[in-house]
Amino acid sequence: MEKTLKKPSENRGMANRKRRDMAFYASLVALPLIQFIIMYIVVNFNSVLLSFQFYNGETSNYEFLPLNDFFRNFARIFDDIGRGTENSMYLAMAKNSLYGFLATLVGVGLSMIFSYYVFKKMFGHNFFKIILFVPSIIPAMVSVIIFNYFANSAVKDVVVKIFHGSMEYGLLSNPDTKLGTILFYNVWIGFGTQLLMYVGAMNNISDSMLEAAQIDGASALREFVSIIFPCVYSTFSVFVTVAFAQIFVNQLSLFSFFGTSASELSTIGYYIYKQVQGISKDGEFNSVAALGILCTIIILPITLGVRYLLRKIGPSVD
Amino acid sequence: MEKTVKRQNRISRFNNAEKIILVILLAVLAAYALSLILMFGWAIMSSFKTPNFYRKHIIEFPEPITIENYVNAYSNFYLRSDDVTSRVIGFGEIIMNTLLYAVGCSFLQTLSCCVMAYATAKYAYKLSKIVYTTVIIVMILPIVGSLPSEVFVLKRVLHLYDTMAGSWFMSFNFLGMYYLVFYEFFKSMPKDYNEAAEIDGAGRYTVLLRIVFPLTRNMFFTVMLLKFIVYWNDYQVPLVYMPGHPTLSYAVFRFMSIAKDGWSNVTQKIAGAMLVFLPVFVLFVIFHNKLIGNVTMGGVKE
C-alpha cells in the first residue's frame, strides 16, 4: 500500500531527473553539434552544389548551370583526362598522388618496425624514440627551409668537396631527383604520431602472453608475426585505410617547398589547395569543387573496400 | 643485476638471421638520427655565418661567427598586408596573432573533444551512439576538396572569413582521434565519483567542473599541448582563411616565397627559421615525457 502511495512522487522524481539529465546533455553537445552541422554537413552539401554552379560576375552570385550544360564543371575534367596520360594534367597529378600514397605506405611499414625496436627496449631505444618524434614538432616551414638548402646546397658541396665527385644540380633542382627527394622528405618527417600509436598499442599487450611465448622458445621474428602484429593490426589497418582515404588529399609538402610553382610535381591535394588559396575574392570555386567531388566518388568505394578487406583478411588476436 | 639478466635473455632469443636484421635495423635508425642531427647541426652552423662566407663555404665552420643573422631576422620580421593599404604588420602583431590562434584553437578543439566525449560516454542516448559512429566513419571517409566550400561558407554564410573568431569556430571540432581518446577515458572512469558527489547534493555541472575536469586535467593538458604545437606550426589554414592575420609560420612561408617581404638571404632565412622553432623546442624539452608517453587510444598512461 505504502509502495503504491509513493509511486506517483517517485515517478515524478524520475521524470524530473531524466529531464534534467536531458537538459544537461543537450547543453554539452549543442555547440559542438552545431559546429559539426555547419562545418561538415553544410560544407560538404554545399560542395556538391558548387560543382553544379558557376560564378556570375555581373550579379556576384553563384548560380546553377543551365540544364543543357549542367555537368560543365565535370566535363572540363573529363575533356582533360581524355587527352591521355601524356597530355592530361589531372592524370599526371593523380600519378604523383599515387607515388605519395606509396611513400605513405612505406612510412606505415617502417614505423611499425621502428616501434617494435623501441617496444623491445633495444639498444638506444629512448634516444631513437625522441629522435623519431622530433620532426613532428618542427614547423613545416622550418624543416622545409632547412631541408631545401641542405638538399640543394650542402649535399652538393659534400659530394664535390669531400667525395671529389661532380654534381651539377642540387637534389631539389635536378628534375631526375626532385620527385624522389620530395617523397623521401615526406617519409623522413612522418614517423612521430605513428610511432606513438604503435608503441602505445604494443604496450597494451599483456606481459604474460609475451612471457609464455618466451618460455615456449619463440624467436623474435615468431613473436612479432604471431603476437605483436595481430595485436597492433587494428592500428595498422587504421593507418592503411587512412592512407587510402588521403590519396587525393596528400599535398606532399609541395606548397611549403615550391609555393604555387610545383608544376610537374603537383598532386591533386596540392592543386586543390593552390587553386583555393589563389582565389582572393569570390572566384571560380566551382571547377575545384567538381574535382573534389569526382575524387571522392573514386576513392570512397576503394577506401571502404580496403577497410572491408583488411578486416576480412586480418590475423586473429585469439 | 636483474636488468643485466633481462637484457641477456632478450638478446639470446634472437637467432643469427634475426641478429643480422637487428644490426641492419640499428644501422637504419642510426642513419636516420645522423641525418637529422647533421642537418640541424649544419643549419645552426649556417645561421652563424656571414652571407658572403656562406656563399663560398657552405659546409665549413663559420668564420667569423656572427649573430647578425638573428638580429636581422628579428628586426626584419614584418610583412606588408596584401590589401590596398599595404600596411606593415610588425613582429608584435604577428606574435599576438600566433598566440591567439594557437592557444585559442588548441583550447577550443580539446574542449570540444572532451565535452562531447564526456556527454556521449556517460549518457547512453541514441544520439551518443550516432555521434560515436559518425566520428569513426568520418575518420575513414575520404572527402576531397571541401576547401572551396569551407571558404564559401565562412565568407557568405557565417561572415567570419579573415577573422580570428572564424578560425576558432572552425577549430571547435570534436571529430578525430582525440575524441576517441577522451571517450575511452570517460568510459573507463568509475561511476562512484559522480554518484558520491550527487548523493552529497552536487549538481551535474558541479560534478563536471569539480570532479571530472580535474581528473581529466592531465590528459586535457597533453592533448592541448599536442594541438598547440600543430596550430603553432600551421601556416596553410591562416593563409587561406585569415590572410589578414598572419602567424609566425605563415610569415616564414611568405619570407620564403615572396621576395618583397622580410628576410633577404639564406643565412637570415635559416636563422629566422631557428627563431620560430625555438619556442616549440623549449616546450618539447620541458614536456617531452608528457608528449611522447601520455596518450594512447585506450586513454592516458600515468
Nearest to A289 among B9, B145, B239 (CB): B145
Is the same domain home to A144 and A196? yes
| Site of grid cell 609566425 | B248
Closest CA of chain B from A258, distance in Å: 8
DSSP string, chain B: -HHHHHHHHHHHT--HHHHHHHHHHHHHHHHHHHHHHHHHHHHHHHHTS-HHHHHH-SSSPPSS---HHHHHHHHT--EE-SSTT--EE-HHHHHHHHHHHHHHHHHHHHHHHHHHHHHHHH---HHHHHHHHHHHHHHH------HHHHHHIIIIIS--TTSHHHHHHHH----SHHHHHHHHHHHHS-THHHHHHHHTT--HHHIIIIIIHHHHHHHHHHHHHHHHHHHHH--HHHHHH-TTS--HHHHHHHHHH-TTSS--SHHHHHHHHHHHHHHHHHHHHHHHHHHHHSEETTEE--
Q: Are B211 and B85 in contact (CB under 8 A)?
A: no
Is the same domain home to A93 and A188? yes
- Distances from the Cα of B182 to the Cα of A170, A242, A314, B104, B174, angstroms: 46, 21, 27, 20, 10
CB contact B298 to A (< 8 Å) = yes
* B residues 11..40 contacting A (CB < 8 A): 13-15, 18, 21-22, 25-26, 29, 32-33, 35-36, 39-40
CA–CA gap between residue A241 and residue A245 (Å, rounded):
6
Closest CA of chain B from A86, distance in Å: 24
pLDDT for position B302:
38
Specify if A54 maps to a domain.
no
Is the same domain home to A137 and A255? yes
Contacts of A162 in chain B (CB under 8 A): 59
Residues recorded for chain B: 302
Which residues of chain B are modeled with pLDDT < 70? 1-13, 142, 258-262, 293-302
Is the same domain home to A276 and A204? yes
Specify if A161 maps to a domain.
yes
Q: Do A141 and B301 touch (CB under 8 A)?
A: no
Instruction: Tell me the three state secondary structure of residue A123.
Output: coil
Q: How far apart are the first and last CA of chain B?
A: 27
Specify if A79 maps to a domain.
no
Q: Are B49 and B62 in contact (CB under 8 A)?
A: yes
Is the same domain home to A10 and A158? no
pLDDT for position A222:
87
Return the H-helix or E-strand segment holding A36. Answer: helix A2-36
Is the same domain home to A37 and A169? no
CB contact A46 to B (< 8 Å) = yes
- Distances from the Cα of B219 to the Cα of A314, B113, B301, angstroms: 31, 12, 9
Question: How many domains are there within chain A?
Answer: 2
CA–CA gap between residue A193 and residue A200 (Å, rounded):
11
Is the same domain home to A111 and A246? yes
CA–CA gap between residue B85 and residue A82 (Å, rounded):
45
3-state secondary structure A56-90: ECCCCEEEECCHHHCCHHHHHHHHHHCCCCCCCHH
pLDDT for position B261:
56
Is the same domain home to A38 and A91? no
Specify if A208 maps to a domain.
yes
Nearest partner of B123 among B56, B191, B63, judged by Cα: B191
CA–CA gap between residue B188 and residue A257 (Å, rounded):
44
Specify if A67 maps to a domain.
no
Q: Which three cell numbers stand for residue B114?
A: 572532451
Residue of A nearest to B13 (CA): A219
* B residues 131..150 contacting A (CB < 8 A): 131, 134, 138-150
pLDDT for position A97:
95
For chain B, list the domains and their CATH numbers. Answer: 2-74 (no CATH), 82-300 (1.10.3720.10)
Is the same domain home to A38 and A109? no
Phi, psi of A60 (to 5 degrees): 55, 35
CA–CA gap between residue B301 and residue B298 (Å, rounded):
9
Is the same domain home to A19 and A149? no
Residues recorded for chain A: 318
Q: Do B82 and A280 touch (CB under 8 A)?
A: yes
Is the same domain home to A301 and A159? yes
pLDDT for position B105:
97
Sign of the CA dihedral with A90 first, then A96, A99, and A105 last? negative
Phi, psi of A258 (to 5 degrees): -120, 5
Q: Is the peptide bond before B142 cis (omega within 30 degrees of 0)?
A: no
Instruction: Tell me the three state secondary structure of residue A189.
Output: coil
pLDDT for position B5:
43
Specify if A239 maps to a domain.
yes
**What CATH number should be reported for the domain holding residue A301?**
1.10.3720.10
Buried/exposed code over B201-227 (b: 16+ C-beta within 10 A; e: otherwise): ebebeebbeebbeeebeebbebbbbbb
Strand ranges (E), chain A: 53-56, 61-64
Beta bridge partners of B102: none
Phi, psi of A314 (to 5 degrees): -65, 155
Phi, psi of A56 (to 5 degrees): -90, 110
Closest CA of chain B from A99, distance in Å: 18
Neighbours of B92 (CB within 10 A): 10
Q: Do A292 and B143 touch (CB under 8 A)?
A: yes
AA identity, residue B44: I
Specify if A186 maps to a domain.
yes
Specify if A70 maps to a domain.
no
Q: Are A167 and A160 in contact (CB under 8 A)?
A: yes
Q: For the complex shown, is ipTM > 0.90?
A: no
Buried/exposed code over A88-118 (b: 16+ C-beta within 10 A; e: otherwise): bebbbbbebbebbbebbeebbebbbebbbbb
Which residues of chain A are modeled with pLDDT < 70? 1-7, 279-284, 316-318
Q: Which three cell numbers stand for residue B25?
A: 635495423
CB contact B43 to A (< 8 Å) = yes
* B residues 165..184 contacting A (CB < 8 A): 169-170, 172-175
CB contact A245 to B (< 8 Å) = yes
pLDDT for position A176:
93
Is the same domain home to A164 and A263? yes
Q: The domain containing residue A295 runs over which residues? A: 86-313
